[in-house]
Amino acid sequence: MKSGILKPGQATPLGKFLAGSAVALYALVAMIPLVWILATGFKSPPDSISYPPKVFFEPTLEGYVNLFTTRSRQTAEYIESLGPPKSWYEELVRRRNMVISGPSRFADRYWNSIVIGFGSTFLAVFLGTLAAYGFSRFKVPLKDDLLFFILSTRMMPPVAVAIPIFLMFRQLGLSDTAAGMILLYTAVNLSLSVWLLKGFVDEIPREYEEAAVVDGYSRLQAFWKVVLPQMRAGIAATAIFCLIFAWNEYAFALLLTSGTAQTAPPFIPIIIGEGGLDWPAVAAGTTLFLMPVVVFTVLLRNQLLRGITFGAVRK
Amino acid sequence: MAGAVLENVTKTFGETVAVENLSLAVGRKEFLVLLGPTGAGKTTTLRLLAGLEQPDSGKVHIAGEDVTAQPPAARDVAFVFQQYSLYPHYTVFENLAFPLRAPGRRLNADSIRRRVGEISEMLRIGHKLNDRVTQLSGGEMQRVSIGRALVRKPKLFLMDEPLSSLDAKLREDLRVELKRIQRDLEATIVYVTHDQLEAMTLADTIGILQEGRLVQADSPRIAYERPATIYAAQRLGSPQINLIEAGRLGLAGGPPAAATAGIRPEDLTVGAEIGAEAKIIAVEHRGDEAVALIEADGLRLHALLDAGVSMEPGSRTRVAVRAESAIWFDSGERLVGAGAPG
């Protein structure tokens, strides 16, 4: 601002300060649960349930050790007979009169979440991109009806059809398989993906492709070299929405998976049932569970911001 | 040998007939300008030549070969769009090199660099090669657009109002440059515009389109002096030609079928000693000349005033018509004779 004269709609310094403070305050309030989860993951079990709650505490990795291991309680004599602990985490466990009996299934479940979450996101975005391009550029018979039909799959919460899906999955042998879960999440995300991406393709002038086609490229090459790079923002935004849904999905995961294909969301609560209320282990699992979406979102944040505002300003 | 030929081409979009039974030839090294208002079928004609549209009937030939069934990529034509055709995710260099990297053309990196260098120098954008196209001004963008067509040496250039989105000064500069480049490269160009000044200055041949049909294709001078129809006469000349019923204002002596006389504004003399009584309604000064709207014999006419003549709106004067300069049309609005054959 060169002069003191303000244009209409321009904030005064005081207004800016107040608006900034409000945003900062909101961010702070919104962050408290996340910070609490992060902190609880490093508390000892007694600290995690102490009253009044402890803001300052001595950090320990016990929660993370408990998250990744299964343990059994033993007598002091038995533990004595084992000799000195071979690692720092064994030492940590023995302090509570326990021995490690093996790894927990958290790593497997986490890996399932990654495979299913990213796999279904990739598929939903890939298929959505192709469908959106087709709907945007070609004469498709009954185009409007098809688009409405695709949208209508999201007119009720997916869980409303949980029972038919459960039965279908059982019949088709898809229950408790990663392929089945990827298929399911892809199907649920596809309508969002097609509609979001169609908006982005519609914004790209056809002249770009026509210029490329006249210049000697095939339609597919024109799509690859000209259209796709300009859809980047849209694809990033769509991918984040799809990933967040697939990553956080709880109800179907609980219903359709039990052993091999179980994802992290239904697994984390199980920890509570194993040997008392182990809140630090739950918090540790939750913290690790939050990471991929946070990292993914931070990596794509520039694209995301552009994508979301772009999509919002125009139709 | 013909550069490109459209043979009885018809193209409809649903109910709308965009191009109707159009036959058109552009010779090699010829600069053909298609002129007409919005909706006359100019752009569709270009797109048919490029292969971006398929004709419902008729044939398209380029360099003597029937290309009607060929896709755009196979036709070896270059298209300059009105706007939007530069790729925002590429630099100027990459945009210019894009056509040279097309499959089937595949030049090596050295010759691409050389060719892009030549063209960018010619268009005076050599210093901008590493810039993103989004950082360019409108004039520079359009130079790059034209450059992307020029790098390839195609058989045929198609240009769809390439200058219309630019401001007046730039448009004039680029117009002059484009004509020079066309001569230097001996390029065959079909150029679409609704700007008659562009048509007059650029064209070897002006093709005047009306509702999807070709009304006239002649050199600018003949198109101006001997327009084929009243519609064609109205497309060229600013202000528009005056249309006067035969017999009025002393306009007699045309061919027997003559029903209407077309008088160009410069063929009316305002403030003459002789002629019909007239009233000045308005005067528009354009710097080097002035245009007067006058009323005479119940008709409203445009006249070009000499620089020295000053006229006040509302004043009375006389207007003389140079009858020998009349362009005569019959009752079907077709040319039957012109006073000064070109």
Residue A75: per-residue pLDDT: 86
CA A147 – CA B316 distance, rounded (Å): 69
Name the amino acid, one letter, at A11.
A
Q: Which residues pair with B280 in a beta bridge?
A: B294
Q: Tokens in use for B302?
A: 């445009």
The three-state DSSP-derived secondary structure of chain B is CEEEEEEEEEEEECCEEEEEEEEEEEECCCEEEEECCCCCCHHHHHHHHHCCCCCCEEEEEECCEECCCCCHHHCCEEEECCCCCCCCCCEHHHHHHHHHHCCCCCCCHHHHHHHHHHHHHHCCCHHHCCCEHHHCCHHHHHHHHHHHHHCCCCCEEEEECCCCCCCHHHHHHHHHHHHHHHHHHCCCEEEEECCHHHHHHHCCEEEEEECCEEEEEECHHHHHHCCCEHHHHHHCCCCCCEEEECCHHHCCCCCCCCCEEEECHHHEEECCCCCEEEEEEEEEECCCCEEEEEEECCEEEEEEECCCCCCCCCCEEEEEECHHHCEEECCCCEEEEECCCC
Torsional class of A307: left (φ above 0), alpha (ψ -120 to 50), beta (otherwise): alpha
Neighboring chain A residues of B88 at a CB cutoff of 8 Å: 230
Token pair 């204002």 is found at B249
Query: At A303, phi and psi to the nearest 5?
Result: -60, -40
Average pLDDT over residues B323-330: 87
Element (H, E) at A230: helix A228-230
Which residue in B has a C-alpha nearest to residue A230's C-alpha? B89
Query: At B4, phi and psi to the nearest 5?
Result: -155, 145
Q: Are B25 and B75 in contact (CB under 8 A)?
A: no
The CA-CA-CA angle for residues B206, B209, B212, to 5°, reads 150
Q: Do A211 and B81 touch (CB under 8 A)?
A: yes
Q: Which of A208, A218, A229 sits opposite B73 (nearest CB)?
A: A218
Other C-beta atoms closer than 10 Å to the C-beta of A291 total 10
CA–CA min distance A266, chain B (Å): 43
**pLDDT at residue A70 greater than cutoff 90:** no
Token pair 């056809």 is found at A206
How many alpha carbons fall within 13 Å on the CB side of residue B230? 15
CA–CA min distance A217, chain B (Å): 6
Q: In this complex, is the C-beta atom of B83 within 8 Å of any C-beta atom belonging to chain A?
A: yes
Q: Do B148 and A211 touch (CB under 8 A)?
A: yes
Q: Where are the domains of chain B?
A: 2-233, 239-246+260-338
Residue A223: per-residue pLDDT: 93
- Where are the extended beta strands (E) located within A58-183? 69-73, 98-103
Which residue in B has a C-alpha nearest to residue A208's C-alpha? B85
Neighboring chain A residues of B99 at a CB cutoff of 8 Å: 215-216
A184 pLDDT band (50/70/90 cuts)?
A: very high
CA A124 – CA A235 distance, rounded (Å): 10
Q: Which CATH class is domain B2-233?
A: alpha beta
Q: In this complex, is the C-beta atom of B87 within 8 Å of any C-beta atom belonging to chain A?
A: yes
Neighboring chain A residues of B148 at a CB cutoff of 8 Å: 211, 215
Interior/surface letters A14-42, b for 16+ CB within 10 angstroms, e for the rest: eeeeeeeeeeeeeeeeeeeeeeebebbbb
Q: What is the pLDDT of residues B90-101, one digit of tens each?
A: 999 999 999 999
Chain A interface mutation, best of B43, B75, B89, highest count of A Cβ atoms under 10 Å: B89
Q: In this complex, is the C-beta atom of B153 within 8 Å of any C-beta atom belonging to chain A?
A: no
Give chain A's domains with CATH numbers: 61-104 (no CATH), 107-313 (1.10.3720.10)
Q: Do A214 and B51 touch (CB under 8 A)?
A: yes
Q: What is the pLDDT of residues A267-313, one digit of tens each?
A: 888 887 656 678 899 999 999 999 998 898 888 887 776 655 544 43
Average pLDDT over residues B294-313: 83
Q: Report DSSP state, residue A98.
A: E
Q: What is the pLDDT of residues B133-167, one digit of tens each?
A: 888 888 888 889 888 988 988 899 999 998 887 88
Residue with the bigger pLDDT between A58 and B247: it is A58
CA A114 – CA A247 distance, rounded (Å): 8
CA B272 – CA B318 distance, rounded (Å): 6
Q: Are B77 and B50 in contact (CB under 8 A)?
A: yes
Q: What is the mean pLDDT of chain B?
A: 88
Dihedral sign for Cα A50, A52, A58, A60, please: positive
Which B-chain residues 43-82 have CB contacts (< 8 A) with chain A?
Answer: 50-52, 71-73, 75, 77-79, 81
Q: Do B71 and A213 touch (CB under 8 A)?
A: yes
Name the amino acid, one letter, at B105.
R
Name the amino acid, one letter, at A303.
Q
Crossing angle of helices A178-203 and A106-137, in 10° steps, is 40
Q: Tokens in use for A160?
A: 């409303």
Name the amino acid, one letter, at B163.
L
CA A223 – CA A226 distance, rounded (Å): 6
Average pLDDT over residues B28-32: 92
Average pLDDT over residues A157-161: 85
CA–CA min distance B99, chain A (Å): 5
Token pair 């004595």 is found at A80
Neighboring chain B residues of A212 at a CB cutoff of 8 Å: 98
Q: In this complex, is the C-beta atom of B180 within 8 Å of any C-beta atom belonging to chain A?
A: no
Please return the burial class of B109, using the count of CB atoms within 10 Å of its CB with bins 0-12, 13-18 and 19+: exposed
CA–CA min distance A150, chain B (Å): 28
The CA-CA-CA angle for residues B261, B263, B264, to 5°, reads 150
Name the amino acid, one letter, at A225.
K
Nearest to A119 by CA among A239, A259, A267, A224: A239
Q: Which of A214, A218, A221 sits opposite B79 (nearest CB)?
A: A214
CA A167 – CA A285 distance, rounded (Å): 31
Torsional class of A12: left (φ above 0), alpha (ψ -120 to 50), beta (otherwise): beta
**pLDDT at residue B257 greater than cutoff 90:** no
**pLDDT at residue B80 greater than cutoff 60:** yes
Average pLDDT over residues B119-140: 86
CA B159 – CA A216 distance, rounded (Å): 17
Residue A311: per-residue pLDDT: 44
Average pLDDT over residues A141-157: 90
Residue A315: per-residue pLDDT: 30
Residue A275: per-residue pLDDT: 60
Q: Tokens in use for A193?
A: 């993906």
**Terminal Cα-to-Cα distance of chain B (whole angstroms):** 26
Q: Are B85 and A211 in contact (CB under 8 A)?
A: yes
Q: In this complex, is the C-beta atom of B227 within 8 Å of any C-beta atom belonging to chain A?
A: no
Which residue in A has a C-alpha nearest to residue B72's C-alpha? A214
Nearest to B233 by CA among B194, B261, B272, B193: B261
Average pLDDT over residues B301-327: 83
Q: Which CATH class is domain B239-246+260-338?
A: mainly beta
pTM: 0.78
Which residue in A has a C-alpha nearest to residue B80's C-alpha? A211
**pLDDT at residue B126 greater than cutoff 80:** yes
CA–CA min distance B12, chain A (Å): 16
